[in-house]
Amino acid sequence: MSIQPRPPIPLGPGPHLFADDYLIAESTGLQRRAHQPQRLPEPVLCKAERWHQQPLLFLKIIPYPEEGLFRAWYNVKNPGYCPPVHAYAESPDGIHWTRPHLGLIEMDGSRANNLFMQGSGFGLGLLDDGPNAPDPARRFKMTSFEHPSRPCGLCVAFSPDGLHWTRHPDNPVLPYYFAEDRDFARSVGDISDTFYDPLRRRYVANFSMYAVPSDGYVGASRTGCIRRLVGQSHSEDFVRWSEPHRILAADTAGDLTEFYGMSGFVRGDTYYGIVRVLRDDLPADPGGPIEGLGYSQLAISHDGEHWRRFSEVFFDRNQTPGTWDHALAWMSAPVYVGDEMYLYYGGYSAGHKVGDREIGLATLRLDGYVSREAGEATGTLRTPPVILGGAHLTVNVDAPAGVLRVALLDEAGNALPGYALEDSLPIGGDSVRHPVRWRERDSLAAAQDRPVRLAFELRNASLYAFALD
């Protein structure tokens, strides 16, 4: 049986990363290097009043550059005092936060606090459809898991301003089923992350689900709970959601790895996720109490349905004993700030169910998850045939003492006239969006509407991504 050649990959505007090998047909002399975000030493949102004891990782932070403002919506747990609540904060820079008095919720006899919703459960997932939203009353959308009584499950709410919310009357939109129910295999869990998919023009909810025997998991968690994996559902209107289905489960052999949900986001033509890995069977310190530890890993999908989780740790817990984020470090989707990504995370001091919880911040180069690196010896990389959906090309490259050149080839590997490596103006320095030009060409005009290969030649350089516009 003959193998059909892979059809050319259409590439739309935006960045295209080399996080995996999807856009690599040939590579010589290059090393793949995964990068980790760098944490700020202290948390940015901390415990305070007794109704603000455990700020959680379940949050959404949106920059509004025209207002010079970052806005944050986040979950707060208050053991021994009140059910989980939703809170709001503002910042001029994404680092230093204030908690404005909203006057909406009464706590300890006063409305001078930053709370905007009570009885709202866990797993806050929030979206802003923007000032041109078709329905201004539903500009802001939110998912959370509510469980005051049966029925419970994934619930939605809407707001015109992000502060005054109306729960949908038909909540829950996706139900929770108890272990004894026959529909338990399609039950949603109490952790949700919501994002908009511009490629398929739909809303997506990632959430925790629970393993059943057919999933192949071995054993339960340390606490006897049924182990968690990642499920997903889609919606066109944020009210009617598709049947939940599994998208990511841990390997079945050996350990008790489980997933506390996964944030999701789209970059270019690719789906990314940051997986919250939980090892409830391990101690934070050797020989210490077994209270669980957790860290974050990167996942990727090229169709939004089939996901691959990278084995390396993307963001680890703080290994230094006694630090505020020593036991767990669970990260949310990135916030894009200039040439960096701000990655907010929940830090747990002692274990999964014990100790303090606060919100921290780590930073990473824009799209800097993985680089392809060459040293003194020249390395090369060629893409499979692609259709370029843009007139101009930039590269995300770090080459302060090196050089990068780019060529356009036909499907057979021959350089297009004027786009050969020797025509490429050498690229050096460190830039997340360095323009690619050739001696007589500064656009991709001659390569439009035809399959081409991109060829990169680099020395003493790290290549992260390229972008089309």
Query: Which CATH number belongs to the domain containing residue 460 in this structure?
Result: 2.60.120.260
Angle at 353 between CA 35 and CA 348, to 5 degrees: 35
Domain end marker among 340, 365, 390: 365
Please provide the average confidence, as pLDDT, over all residues in the chain.
93
Residues 280 and 428 in one domain: no
The yes-or-no verdict on residue 65 having pLDDT over 60 is: yes
Residues 361 and 382 in one domain: no
The pLDDT tens digits for 67-120 are 999 999 999 999 888 888 999 999 999 999 999 999 999 999 999 999 999 876
Domain membership of residue 463 (yes or no) is: yes
Long-range contacts of 435-443 (CB under 8 A, 24+ apart): 435/392, 435/393, 435/394, 436/392, 436/393, 436/394, 436/395, 436/406, 436/466, 442/392, 443/391, 443/392
Task: Give the span between the Cα atoms of 464 and 372, in whole angstroms.
Answer: 6
Residues 264 and 404 in one domain: no
Q: Do 404 and 457 contact (CB within 8 A), yes or no?
A: yes
Which pLDDT value is given to residue 250?
83
Task: Give the largest Cα separation in the chain, rounded.
Answer: 76
Our count of domains for the chain comes to 2
Task: Give the span between the Cα atoms of 39 and 122, in whole angstroms.
Answer: 25
Range of the domain at 327: 38-365
Q: Do 87 and 101 contact (CB within 8 A), yes or no?
A: no
Domain end marker among 331, 365, 399: 365
Query: Which CATH number belongs to the domain containing residue 354 in this structure?
Result: 2.115.10.20
Task: Give the span between the Cα atoms of 58 and 72, in whole angstroms.
Answer: 11
Domain membership of residue 145 (yes or no) is: yes
Q: Do 326 and 317 contact (CB within 8 A), yes or no?
A: yes
Domain membership of residue 3 (yes or no) is: no
Residues 307 and 377 in one domain: no
The pLDDT tens digits for 177-230 are 988 888 999 999 988 999 999 999 999 999 999 988 888 776 665 555 678 999
Q: Do 361 and 433 contact (CB within 8 A), yes or no?
A: no
Q: Which amino acid is at 387?
A: I
What distances in angstroms separate CA 237 from CA 156, 273, 355, 425, one per listed residue? Answer: 11, 22, 39, 48
Residues 285 and 347 in one domain: yes
Domain membership of residue 93 (yes or no) is: yes
Domain membership of residue 179 (yes or no) is: yes
Higher pLDDT, 251 or 312: 312
**Token pair for residue 94?**
């994404």
Residues 133 and 217 in one domain: yes
Residues 134 and 65 in one domain: yes
Domain membership of residue 1 (yes or no) is: no
**CB-based burial, 79-113: b 16+ in 10 Å, e otherwise:** eeebebbbbbbbbeebeebebeebebbebeeeeeb
Domain membership of residue 131 (yes or no) is: yes
Residues 273 and 395 in one domain: no
The pLDDT tens digits for 309-345 are 999 999 999 999 999 999 999 999 999 999 999 999 9
pLDDT tier at 1 (50, 70, 90 boundaries)? very low
Domain end marker among 317, 334, 365: 365
Domain membership of residue 2 (yes or no) is: no
Residues 307 and 226 in one domain: yes
Helix (H, G, I), strand (E, B) or coil at 243: coil
Residues 413 and 354 in one domain: no
Residues 385 and 454 in one domain: yes
Angle at 259 between CA 258 and CA 264, to 5 degrees: 160
The yes-or-no verdict on residue 148 having pLDDT over 60 is: no
Residues 286 and 431 in one domain: no
- Is the full-model pTM beyond 0.75? yes
